Amino acid sequence: MAIRIAIASGKGGTGKTTVATNLYYAINEASKDEALLVDCDVEEPNDVLFFPDVKPGKLTTVNQEIPKIDTSRCTFCRKCVEYCEFNAIVIIPPAEFAEVNPSLCHSCGACLVACPSDAFGIQNESIGTINRYLDKAGKEILEGRLKVGSAMQTMMIRSLKKSIGTSEKIVILDAPPGTSCPVVETISDANFVILVTEPTPFGLHDLKLMVTLVRQLGKPFGVVINKAHLGNREIYGYLDAEHIEMIAEIPFNRAYAEQYARADLFNMIPGEIRHAHRKIKENLSKKGLIR
Amino acid sequence: MKEITIISGKGGTGKSTVTAALATIGSNLVLCDSDVDAPDLHLVLNPRVMESHIFEGAWVASIIQELCTGCNICSEYCRFDAISLNASGKLHIDPFKCEGCRLCERICPAGAIQSVKSINNAWYVSETRAGILTHANMGPGEENSGKLVSQVRKKAKEIAREKGSGILLTDGPPGTGCAAISSIAGADAVLLVIEASMSSLHDAKRMAELVDQFHIPLYAIINKFDIHRDISAQIEVFLEARSIPLLGKIPFDESVVQAMVSGQSYTEYAPHSELSGIFHSIWNQLANP
């Protein structure tokens, strides 16, 4: 199985995508190791924006199986309502009304088991697409794109991860912000997690939440401090006290912020930034995760 | 009472910074931090907690090993791949993968599965210098952030009505998924904070599409607009085309981080600065449309 490296943060906008895309770029540029980039921020996927030359490849629709009640068979016994832990089913016996609300349904299948009258069918409802892109060198980038209005981001990430092939040696998983189930789904099978943060009170607070989570999941992890020197020094004391490894510091550089803004991350990288990203790669290779 | 939710699509564009700056301008406000995954507003507003409540999250199932016969039916029925054999060859439920549907518990022929509600979440009503704040602490990896969002918003609305507050200001989460949907459903207006980057513009377009589905009036501001003026101009073109009123453009200023470090909102930290003037103008347009 490929080595999986997840990039996560807690707080949004700390630089997950910058770290993930630079790592992908550096691995594929330097060695024969083939890295696959997987954009798991399915609510707002934008890794591909940084690769303007990519060609869109195969597009797969992800469907959620929504149970549908056949009212001609339904006896309105409400057993399915009792089974449904997500309050997704409405049955009104006097009106002979029986319906599943797709936006609340988790597709767990409990209602299908509950129904004594075989009144349930299945209807597929699209929750988004899995998009494959090929970059210039023929390397693949995978992206999950949740349909706007869908609340099924975790299911989307699960499907996205199932579509990862077996040919790559290294899989880079770019996680969504936050600390809840979509993040867990993304990092759950990672061999290593890079937590990207910034040295500000918001960055530190959300980093602590992420550290609690990755420790509960028993994942090895290290921290990258982005926009270094912008805030205060408190984060360094925290990392020391908690014996957390600092993999690299990426200095704040206004010129590079402008490059980021126009989605141009790999040309004319300022020396200090290039150095920081090289350090991240070297660190992973010292750990034996990449060559 | 009017609820204004501040949202962005992309994370880190400045939602909480903007919320704090506006909150300390307005008076007679109620505030809500609906980014329960990674709440930050309290770091600026230094709340004094007056009420704290446990929020029951989703069910989490576990196997009672003494009763389990290893028949494997539960793992066949589980749609979330949460049940598998552990290192010692026993069936085991991964609490982080379990979505709490309880189907395994219902179908287990040996009655060997039990579920308990997670009590890893809490929500609070607090006093701050800018008004009452409702906020939450979600346990890491929890399932129900959408429901916790609904809870803090519901309480904030109740308080706003009781106190006769004119405005409830809600600091929303990033993304467009369940937490974002729960944060904007039923709001009276949404303020979209976009930064001058291609990613933020891309994400703002998706966000605008989401807000459209709810038929809620949408306003926008461009943060750090001078990081890339061309992209800022592209954002303005997009807003114009969609008839989304642009309430202000905020320049990049490193002292915004200094305000955060000092535990103040920007309008408190540098009340007479150009930036604070822009925040005042944004607030006036939002509060008195």
How far apart (Å, rounded) are the C-alpha atoms in residues A170 and A23? 11
A178/B173 CB distance under 8 A: yes
- Same domain, yes or no, for A22 and A94? no
- pLDDT of amino acid B289: 75
Among B101, B121, B184, B262, pick the best mutation site for testing chain A contact (most A Cβ within 10 A).
Answer: B101
- Same domain, yes or no, for A90 and A162? no
Q: Which two tokens stand for residue A198?
A: 């910034």
Closest CA to A159 of B79, B171, B122, B133: B79
Q: Which two tokens stand for residue A196?
A: 């990207």
CB contact at 8 A, B25 and B283: yes
Nearest to B175 among A43, A110, A231 (CB): A43
Q: How far is B90 from chain A (nearest CA, A)?
A: 19
Q: Supply the CATH number for residue A160's domain.
A: 3.40.50.300
**Which positions 161-190 of A are in contact with B (Cβ < 8 Å)?**
176-184, 188
**φ, ψ (nearest 5 deg) of residue B219:** -125, 165
Tell me the chain A residues in contact with residue B101 when contact means C-beta distances shorter than 8 Å: 85-86, 106, 108-110
Side-chain-side CA neighbours of A59 within 13 Å: the count stands at: 7
- pLDDT of amino acid A29: 84
- Same domain, yes or no, for A101 and A153? no
Closest CA to A164 of A21, A33, A19, A35: A35
Q: Name the residue with higher pLDDT: B258 or B146.
A: B258
Same-fold call for B2-56+120-287 versus B60-117: no
Q: How far is B137 from chain A (nearest CA, A)?
A: 10
- pLDDT of amino acid A136: 76
Q: How many domains, in total, are found in chain A?
A: 2
In this prediction, residues B48-67 reach a mean pLDDT of: 95
- pLDDT of amino acid B55: 94
Q: Which two tokens stand for residue B37?
A: 């995954």
Tell me the chain B residues in contact with residue A179 when contact means C-beta distances shorter than 8 Å: 37-38, 138, 140-141
A33 has a pLDDT exceeding 70: no
Instruction: Using a pLDDT cut of 70, give the percent of chain B over it.
Output: 100
Number of separate helices (H) and strands (E) present in chain A: 9, 11
- Same domain, yes or no, for A214 and A243? yes
B145/A178 CB distance under 8 A: yes
Q: Does A255 touch chain B (CB under 8 A)?
A: no
- Same domain, yes or no, for A281 and A180? yes
In this prediction, residues A70-98 reach a mean pLDDT of: 95
Q: How far is CA A234 from the centre of its chain?
A: 28
Tell me the chain A residues in contact with residue B269 when contact means C-beta distances shorter than 8 Å: none
A24 located within any domain = yes
Which top CATH class is B2-56+120-287? alpha beta
Instruction: Find, in chain A, the residue whose alpha carbon is nearest to that of B16.
Output: A202
- Same domain, yes or no, for A177 and A91? no
How far apart (Å, rounded) are the C-alpha atoms in residues A240 and B123? 31
Nearest to A108 among B103, B173, B257 (CB): B103
A72 has a pLDDT exceeding 90: yes
Q: Report the range of poorest mean pLDDT among A134-143, A153-162, B51-60, B145-154.
A: A134-143
Q: In this predicted complex, what is the ipTM?
A: 0.94
- Same domain, yes or no, for A184 and A110? no
Among A18, A21, A43, A106, pick the best mutation site for testing chain B contact (most B Cβ within 10 A).
Answer: A43
In this prediction, residues A150-160 reach a mean pLDDT of: 95
A181/B198 CB distance under 8 A: no
B172-195 pLDDT per residue, tens = 999 999 999 999 999 999 999 999
pTM of the model: 0.95
B213/A149 CB distance under 8 A: yes
Q: Supply the CATH number for residue A94's domain.
A: 3.30.70.20
Among B115, B178, B224, pick the best mutation site for testing chain A contact (most A Cβ within 10 A).
Answer: B178
A188-214 pLDDT per residue, tens = 999 999 999 999 999 999 999 999 999
Average pLDDT of chain A to the nearest whole number: 95
Average pLDDT of chain B to the nearest whole number: 96
Closest CA to B12 of A131, A46, A48: A46
The domain boundary, picked from A51, A84, A118, lies at A118
How far apart (Å, rounded) are the C-alpha atoms in residues A252 and A270? 11
For helices A234-241 and A201-216, the axis angle rounded to 10 degrees is 20
How far apart (Å, rounded) are the C-alpha atoms in residues A4 and A6? 6
- pLDDT of amino acid A28: 87
- Same domain, yes or no, for A156 and A107? no
Q: Which helix (H) or strand (E) holds A247?
A: strand A246-251
- Same domain, yes or no, for A35 and A151? yes
- pLDDT of amino acid B118: 86
- Same domain, yes or no, for A30 and A83? no
Q: Which two tokens stand for residue A33?
A: 């190791």
Tell me the chain B residues in contact with residue A216 when contact means C-beta distances shorter than 8 Å: 96, 140-141
> In the CATH scheme, what is the code of domain B60-117?
3.30.70.20
B144 has a pLDDT exceeding 90: no
A54 located within any domain = yes
Nearest to A181 among B141, B197, B202 (CB): B141
A135 has a pLDDT exceeding 90: no
What domain range is A15 assigned to?
4-59+136-286
B24 has a pLDDT exceeding 70: yes
* Spans of all domains in chain B: 2-56+120-287, 60-117
- Same domain, yes or no, for A110 and A18? no
Q: pLDDT band for position A32 (50/70/90)?
A: low
Instruction: Find, in chain A, the residue whose alpha carbon is nearest to that of B211.
Output: A149
- pLDDT of amino acid A138: 77
In this prediction, residues A141-152 reach a mean pLDDT of: 95
For helices A16-30 and A271-286, the axis angle rounded to 10 degrees is 70
Tell me the chain B residues in contact with residue A108 when contact means C-beta distances shorter than 8 Å: 79-80, 99, 101, 103
Nearest to B228 among A85, A108, A261 (CB): A261
Q: How far is B85 from chain A (nearest CA, A)?
A: 16
- Same domain, yes or no, for A93 and A145? no
Nearest to B96 among A17, A184, A205 (CB): A184
B95-120 pLDDT per residue, tens = 999 999 999 999 999 999 999 998 88
**Which positions 23-82 of A are in contact with B (Cβ < 8 Å)?**
41-44, 46, 49
A221: Cβ–Cβ under 8 A, 6 or more apart, which residues? Answer: A192, A193, A194, A195, A211, A214, A244
